[in-house]
Amino acid sequence: MPTEFRDGIVTIEASPKTVPHPVHGDIYTLGECIPLEWSGSGADLQSRVVLYHGSFQALARVGDFDWRAEAWETLTHELRHHLEWRANVAALEAYDWAAEENFKRHEGQTFDPVFYRSGERVAEGVWKVDDDVFVEGGVEFIWHGKRYRVGVTPVAPAFLTLEGLEEPPPGDAVLVVPRKATLFNFWRRPVVAQAVASVEQSSALGG
């Protein structure tokens, strides 16, 4: 692989994590390019590339799986992400801000209630910031090919950290119940409710 493609890649590592796709069953994230510190210029960005061994194992259990070909395809795909990160400074700034706001969320501090939308969009209504996945929805939602239901009726805006998912992500799975903007609340900073919510499986998709 040309060395210029690897410029700025600090490490390529294997992780034992299993990373299920937040919507589709039998699909797993095999790898990821994770941006690290940068000095304000996209060309200075450093990244680490991670291959998720647990995801490779999960796919191997589903059916025929050429792990060598998939590993090479995943690696080259993530290197491409690294080059794209370097070229798009605005996206880097947005992701960095989202990561800071997510840290505030973990610490119980006040945070912007729509920060996650500046993270990585992985599906319709689904975003990822670091290891945490944010799903916009209501009492019922889809996770990894299955329909779930939370046991509470949240008052928007709310961030519910979900417990009881059959295949959870490495970090938090957060159901976000967004506030609907109106003329009366558009300029008001909302009070965001955070809670841990247990879920129960409703049915498989199409069931």
pLDDT in tens, the chain (207 residues): 777 778 889 999 999 999 999 999 888 999 999 888 666 566 778 899 999 999 999 999 988 889 999 999 999 888 888 888 788 767 777 888 999 999 999 999 999 999 999 998 999 999 999 899 999 988 899 999 999 999 888 777 899 999 999 999 999 999 999 877 554 444 455 678 889 999 999 865 554
Contact 175, 150 (CB under 8 A): yes
> In what order do the strands lie in the sheet containing 158-163?
120-123, 126-129, 132-136, 173-177, 158-163, 193-204, 146-150, 140-143
Q: What is the CATH number of domain 3-87?
A: 3.30.2010.20
pLDDT score, position 186: 45
Q: Where are the beta strands (DSSP E) in 9-93?
A: 9-15, 31-35, 47-52
Mean of the per-residue pLDDT values of the chain: 86
CATH 3.30.2010.20 in the chain: give the residue spans. 3-87
The secondary structure of residue 109, as a DSSP letter, is: -
Q: How do residues 68-86 score in pLDDT, each as one tens digit?
A: 999 999 998 888 888 887 8
Distance CA 148, CA 131 (A): 21
Distance CA 92, CA 10 (A): 17
Contact 160, 154 (CB under 8 A): yes
pLDDT score, position 54: 96
Q: In Å, what is the CA distance from 58 to each residue of 45, 67, 80, 82?
A: 32, 11, 24, 26
The pair of structure tokens assigned to 42 is 């996209």
Distance CA 200, CA 69 (A): 37
